[in-house]
Amino acid sequence: MIKVGILTASDKGSAGERIDESGKVIMNALKRIDAKMADYVVVPDDKDTIAANLVRMADIVGVDLILTTGGTGFSPRDITPEATLSVIDREAPGIPEAMRQKSLQITPKAMLSRAVAGLRGKTLIINLPGSPKAVSECLEVILPVLTHAIEILRGDTGECAR
């Protein structure tokens, strides 16, 4: 069972002015893999707040995977990648590269995504876009590898060859 933390970065969502539809998309997608939500927060687009919650989920709650949504674009308040980079030990660039590659087949606007992914200890952190449609499309790309990624992080397997 993969323990998952979900973090939605949204000024309006954290103020109760918008329903977090993207978080719901993530929650529903977890049903397709052996995963359960262990933590969920909606926070403002603030680097320190995002970073503190990522650290709390990884180090205190002990989740295996954190999926963020929102804050990956060009808006001045979009700061999720910077918050993520400030707390990870190592980057996992192939994950956002794969999401952007697939998304570019749907819209050229995908090249504007600044999403990152990386490892904090034994926790994998992945930034997803903010729109529910884009979240769904990106999850289609990454869900097939998440279980294996977490098994490697846990030390349950190390062999990628078939």
Average pLDDT over residues 111-132: 98
Exposure string over 76-93, b if 16+ CB within 10 A, otherwise e: eebbbbebbeebbeeebe
CB-CB contact of 103 with 134 (8 Å): yes
Q: What is the value of pTM for the model shown? A: 0.96
Q: Which CATH architecture has domain 2-154?
A: 3-Layer(aba) Sandwich (3.40)
The answer on pLDDT for 158 being more than 70 is no
Domain ranges of the chain: 2-154
